Amino acid sequence: MSIRSVCVYCGSQMGASPSYARAAAALGEAIARDGLTLVYGGASVGLMGVVANAALGAGGQVIGVMPRILMRRELAHPALTELVVTESMQERKAKMAELSDAFVALPGGIGTLDELFEMWTWAQLGLHAKPCALINTDGYYDEIVNFLDRATRDGFLRPAIRALLRVVPQLPSPSAFFTDS
């Protein structure tokens, strides 16, 4: 499968560590540098704004997808290549999936996990064969990774399904990473 676009899920907040913003900026720049399109939640705030600004600053194409209900709360980014407004969160997730060839999560909260885990679940069900990755910046997701490994050991998650979610500390070249998947 050829990767042309990468969906990035991440927080609408900056988080407590400056390393999260550095990771978001590095990923946005890498996506643009690799000639890929960034697909993300459409906000101008938090890590979402950082990843979008970095991709745009590096000359990349950026598509934001935001439900109408969040337009006021998350402040839609004013300088995107394209902003798609949906009527619901479910429509947002489906549109982001449609526009993306791979899925990546940076640090974030329950929305970030919901979106990535839904795409991982869709891969498990055979609804798509697109790669999924979790960027574990400074060990942010260590406890979740430990839980997933335990769920695998305890028989609730088959090893082949666990392997569908790649966990890395950073993603310097999205094209190379996803081509090697």
- Within-domain flag for 17: yes
CATH number at residue 32: 3.40.50.450
Asked if the structure places residue 87 within a domain, the reply is no
Q: Identify the domain containing residue 28 by its residue range.
A: 5-81+97-142+161-179
**149 located within any domain:** no
**Is residue 88 in some structural domain?**
no
The answer to whether residue 44 sits within a structural domain is: yes
Does 154 map to a domain? no
Domains identified in the chain, total number:
1
Q: Is residue 47 part of a domain?
A: yes
Q: The pTM is what?
A: 0.96
Element (H, E) at 9: strand 5-9
User: From first to last of its 181 residues, what are the pLDDT tens digits of the chain?
Assistant: 789 999 999 999 999 999 999 999 999 999 999 999 999 999 999 999 999 999 999 999 999 999 998 887 768 999 999 999 999 999 999 999 999 999 999 999 999 999 999 999 999 999 999 999 999 999 999 999 999 999 999 999 999 999 999 999 988 788 888 887 5
Asked if residue 148 belongs to a domain, the reply is no
d(CA 91, CA 45): 21
* Structure confidence at residue 71 (pLDDT): 81
Phi/psi-derived region of residue 75, left when phi > 0, alpha when psi is between -120 and 50, beta in every other case? left
